[in-house]
Amino acid sequence: MNLSATTLAAATNENLAQISNYLIYSSMAVYTLAFFAHMAEWLFGSRSKVARTAAALTARPAEGTAKAGAAPAVTVRKDGGTAVLDKPKVVTRAASGARDVPDGPGAHGGTEKGDLYGRIAVSLTVLAFLLEASGVLTRALSVQRAPWGNMYEFSTTFSTVAVGVYLALLLAGKNVRWAGLPLVTTVLLDLGFAVTVLYTESDQLVPALDSYWLWIHVSTAIFCGAVFYLGAVGSILYLFRDSYEAKLARGGKPGKFATSVMERLPSAASLDKFSYRVNAAVFPLWTFTIIAGAIWAGDAWGRYWGWDAKEVWSFITWVAYAAYLHARATAGWKGRKAAYIALIAFLCFLWNYYGVNMFVNSLHSYAGV
């Protein structure tokens, strides 16, 4: 009877693992559709005249036509009537504070068709997120533990949380739909790498991982990584947008492609502020993650800190983000310099995430790669 129960349980767990794989692959298919929908949003947005209108908004008014410091406006004639579109007010604290540039209209470029595809993309992303989250949950049920025992499980959970954070920001009314295309692209790459290179059959944890600290330490590390990722996307786009705005300020004329893309993004100041806010918000949690890991190490190995590769790179990542936050508080290091530090910090996180587990011999090399 006990043998039959054990056999039945094993068969059930195997079926759950197969269902989990099916759900992960299904989410990849839906993410692919979301990717094409986001591409359509950008494509139809590029045909809009809103980008040119946004450029006109940033132009200085002719001498004598506006008071110094007044917000410029553009006049649009339609059907014999005249309408004045005032420049939206933007309050920033970015390094490029000398510029007062409005946010772009978004990837849809102000077109109804572009916006429709954007909303379809978000809806598909929600569906894919639910499928992927169900796959992660089913994987956990198949082994009756937290689904973070190896790199495959960590990767699928990481991309799920990253999408979840993005959707939560959208639900909160934040202007982050511009991150949809890079996010979905990255998630597809992450899941593709997970199912082809990192895949590991579901199994029980090694003794060192069999602790309630797994739920605390690893869950916070995954969440921090997801938020750091969004901050890195913001920093990369900030660097491009800042270069674009600087070229315009010098009287330069960017190419049509750069103009079409850059003028639909938020201003450099807004992107810089977004990156700073998300990185600053999650930094205390990353500090807690390292402390929790040290406590777990004390329980598992009898010492809180042993200069293991994973411990060292976690600390290096902490130092890099601390340097970024300090740079943002220092006048001479705001803006581009701080953004470079933020990207270096995220690269440290990625190396700690992939490199240490895959290429370095350490106490944390039990990840099933």
For the chain, 369 residues long, give each residue's pLDDT as a single digit of tens.
465 656 655 667 788 889 999 999 999 999 999 999 999 999 988 866 554 444 444 444 433 334 333 444 444 444 444 444 444 444 434 444 446 788 889 888 888 999 999 999 999 999 999 999 999 999 999 888 888 888 899 999 999 999 999 999 999 999 899 999 999 999 999 999 999 998 888 776 777 677 888 889 999 999 999 999 999 999 999 999 999 999 998 888 888 888 889 999 999 999 999 999 999 999 999 999 999 999 988 887 888 888 888 899 999 999 999 999 998 888 778 889 999 999 999 999 999 988 888 887 776 665 555
| Separation between Cα atoms, residue 54 and residue 272, nearest integer Å | 19
- Is the distance from CB of 95 to CB of 272 less than 8 angstroms? yes
Q: How far apart are CA 54 and CA 264, in angstroms?
A: 8
Contacting residues for 66 by C-beta, under 8 A, at least 6 apart:
72
HSE (CB half, 13 Å, CA atoms) of 100?
Answer: 13
**Model pTM?**
0.83
Dihedral sign from CA coordinates of 153, 159, 160, 165: positive
In eight-state DSSP terms, residue 261 is H
Find out whether 167 and 129 touch, Cβ atoms under 8 Å. yes
Host H or E run for residue 342: helix 336-350
Measure Cα distances from 85 to 82, 104, 261 in Å: 10, 14, 21
Largest CA distance in the chain: 94
Q: How far is CA 49 from CA 105, 112, 264, in A?
A: 11, 12, 11
- Both tokens assigned to 260: 């079409």
And the tokens for 45? 């947005």
CA proximity to 105, closest of 42, 40, 44, 54: 54
